[in-house]
Amino acid sequence: MLVSAVTLGCALLLGQVEAQEVAEPEAPAEAPVDATQATTPEPPVAPEPWDFQMAVPNASSPQQPFDGQVRCLTLPPTPAVPSGQWRARCDEAKKECLVSPANELDAEGHENDQPLQRVDWCVSHLMPTETARQYRLVPAIAEAPPGWYRDERGRVLQYNFDLHRRVYLGGAWAPRWLRGTDGVDERVRVDFGVDLEWPGDSDRLHRMTLLDTELYLGDAASYEATLLRYDFRSQHDAPLFRVTTFYGRPRRFDVYANLGFWMEVLHGEQVRREGVHADFLSLAATDLTLDLWHSSDLVSYVRVRAGPAVERDRTNGFFTLVPAAALEGDLTLDRDGFHHVRFGAEAQKVLLAEHVDGRPLRPERLRLLAGYEVILLAINDQPVSLTLDGRGTWRDDVANAPAGWEWSAQAGLRFSLWAPARRSAPTSSPGKG
């Protein structure tokens, strides 16, 4: 009986254990993890191709500013600009770039192998394409230096000229009439020289002329030449004296003494009149000048000057003292230096001369001049100008020649080399104004 009870209890216990094992099956083993698969990044996504087609500028396109940094830019090639090379000036605030081709364009609007002239070099590193896509790209005409103009094809031309800084060569028809004779001396004039001008300190302007030469060929051939001519003008802020008027409201007028200096070294002249001639050589002349009026940049002026000169009468072989006084003007009439007017009247008295038969002991000279020069065109950016002037001279210093007036009307052309833009030339301009 006891044995039966023990046997039954063991049977029941074994049944419960088997039932629990059936209710809780064994969990499956996890698969091993591949370490290389977990750390490998995804391959980068290739950027979409940029099919942007940049247009070339036209006559109405804006112009790049002259200042600021220029960046090299490579854009997708186009039929007009297959190289894809452009120049950009960008505004970071506006996120906008003014873009121009790096080479000139031909008549059909396609780039050629000529790079743009008179432009700043673009920075060496290229503007990345990703950066360029963030900007608005505007077709533009490349910048031009002051006094120059660039067209829509990128070609540059000079439209502003300083005829006070040049090397010139010219020729003119220069007939001469002498008082008391019915004939006309048929002559031509050949002239050349070098003009220089530079600003100084304290509102001062310096001007120099070298080898100023005029050769007259034909009837009564002669010459007039100066090795060196120099002068300076100045602008003073403090008035020399003040004038106050009391008619009605008191008013003050300031009178300035804008003094300067003028000199000539080795001025030679050959004179021919009615079959006789005379040769004179002024060794040195020094004058004080007083500007009656001058422009703000001191380039144009009306002034008086006076002073002595030491002269050699080469025909008669002695030295003389020649004091002179002159009223003269030099006017540039327009901003771009195309129109120039010169005029002058000078009186001279020959002193300390020895007696010469056929002329007075103290001869006199009076010279009048009025001239106009205008630029007609330019060849390789070197101006060709038309010159017109009238001259009159009265003198009695030529022995055995009657005293009297001689008149000359001269018209010709003058070619100027190295005539840069004026210092007052605008930094940007659509062209000649």
Last residue in a domain, options 132, 158, 184:
158
- pLDDT category at 21 given cuts 50, 70, 90 is very low
> Is the confidence at residue 34, as pLDDT, over 70?
no
Range from 156-160, 251-255, 263-267, 421-425 carrying the lowest mean pLDDT: 251-255
Distance CA 376, CA 83 (A): 39
Share of the chain above pLDDT 90, in %: 70
pLDDT at 66: 86
- pLDDT category at 199 given cuts 50, 70, 90 is very high
The verdict on residue 56 lying in a domain is: no
> Is the confidence at residue 10, as pLDDT, over 70?
no
Q: What is the mean pLDDT of residues 313-331?
A: 97
CA-atom Rg of the chain in angstroms: 44
pLDDT at 22: 44
Say yes or no: 233 and 128 in one domain: no
Say yes or no: 178 and 321 in one domain: yes
Q: Which residues pair with 101 in a beta bridge?
A: 86
Average pLDDT over all residues of the chain = 88
Q: What is the mean pLDDT of residues 381-395?
A: 97
Say yes or no: 114 and 263 in one domain: no
> Is the confidence at residue 433, as pLDDT, over 90?
no
> Is the confidence at residue 427, as pLDDT, over 80?
no
Distance CA 83, CA 101 (A): 10
Q: How many domains does the chain have?
A: 2
CA 388 to chain centre: 26
Distance CA 68, CA 66 (A): 7
pLDDT at 103: 95
H or E stretch covering 411: strand 404-417
Query: What tokens does 318 get?
Result: 């002695």
Between these two residues, 363 and 182, which has the higher pLDDT value?
Answer: 363
CA 79 to chain centre: 35
pLDDT at 3: 47
Distance CA 207, CA 166 (A): 12
Distance CA 81, CA 218 (A): 59
Type of residue numbered 364? E
Distance CA 303, CA 293 (A): 7
H or E stretch covering 139: strand 136-139
Q: Which residues pair with 214 in a beta bridge?
A: 191, 224
Say yes or no: 192 and 94 in one domain: no
Q: 263 is in which domain, residue-wise?
A: 166-417
Q: What is the mean pLDDT of residues 184-211?
A: 94
Cα-Cα-Cα-Cα torsion 79, 84, 90, 94, nearest 10 degrees, comes to 50
Side-chain-side CA neighbours of residue 355 (13 Å)? 1
Strands 176-178 and 187-200: unpaired
Q: What is the mean pLDDT of residues 383-387?
A: 98
Range from 11-15, 100-104, 414-418 carrying the lowest mean pLDDT: 11-15
* Beta carbons of 363 and 356 less than 8 angstroms apart: no
> Is the confidence at residue 7, as pLDDT, over 90?
no
Q: Which residues pair with 268 in a beta bridge?
A: 225, 281
Closest C-alpha among 300, 297, 288, 285 to residue 257 = 288
* Beta carbons of 183 and 410 less than 8 angstroms apart: no
- Residue whose entry in the numeric block shows the structure tokens 């509102």: 203
Last residue in a domain, options 158, 184, 219:
158
Say yes or no: 280 and 195 in one domain: yes
pLDDT digits (tens, 9 = 90+) for 260-289: 999 999 999 999 988 898 999 999 999 999
pLDDT at 2: 46
pLDDT digits (tens, 9 = 90+) for 239-249: 888 899 999 99
Distance CA 433, CA 429 (A): 8
pLDDT at 256: 82
Distance CA 302, CA 281 (A): 27
Last residue in a domain, options 137, 158, 179:
158
Question: How many other C-beta atoms can be found within 10 angstroms of the C-beta atom of residue 220?
Answer: 19
Q: What is the mean pLDDT of residues 357-384?
A: 96
pLDDT at 6: 47
pLDDT digits (tens, 9 = 90+) for 101-130: 999 999 999 999 999 999 988 876 677 878
Say yes or no: 113 and 262 in one domain: no
* Beta carbons of 204 and 232 less than 8 angstroms apart: yes
* Beta carbons of 211 and 194 less than 8 angstroms apart: yes
Range from 31-40, 72-81, 254-263, 420-429 carrying the lowest mean pLDDT: 31-40
The verdict on residue 430 lying in a domain is: no
Range from 13-27, 347-361, 371-385 carrying the lowest mean pLDDT: 13-27
Q: What is the mean pLDDT of residues 145-149?
A: 94
- Residue whose entry in the numeric block shows the structure tokens 């009656």: 292
Say yes or no: 100 and 219 in one domain: no
The verdict on residue 178 lying in a domain is: yes
Q: What is the mean pLDDT of residues 131-138?
A: 89
Q: What is the mean pLDDT of residues 146-174?
A: 96
The verdict on residue 30 lying in a domain is: no
Say yes or no: 274 and 338 in one domain: yes
pLDDT at 266: 98
Strands 382-395 and 404-417: antiparallel
Distance CA 422, CA 295 (A): 14
The verdict on residue 9 lying in a domain is: no
Closest C-alpha among 108, 82, 104, 112 to residue 153 = 104
pLDDT at 386: 98
- pLDDT category at 180 given cuts 50, 70, 90 is low
The verdict on residue 32 lying in a domain is: no
> Is the confidence at residue 44, as pLDDT, over 70?
no
pLDDT at 133: 86
Structure letter (DSSP) for residue 123: E
Distance CA 305, CA 326 (A): 5
pLDDT digits (tens, 9 = 90+) for 296-312: 999 999 999 999 999 99
The verdict on residue 11 lying in a domain is: no
Burial class (CB in 10 A: 0-12, 13-18, 19+), 26: exposed
pLDDT at 45: 54
Q: Which residues pair with 191 in a beta bridge?
A: 170, 214
Closest C-alpha among 224, 222, 277 to residue 399 = 277
Say yes or no: 376 and 244 in one domain: yes
Backbone angles phi, psi at 233, to 5 degrees: -125, 155
Distance CA 24, CA 222 (A): 135
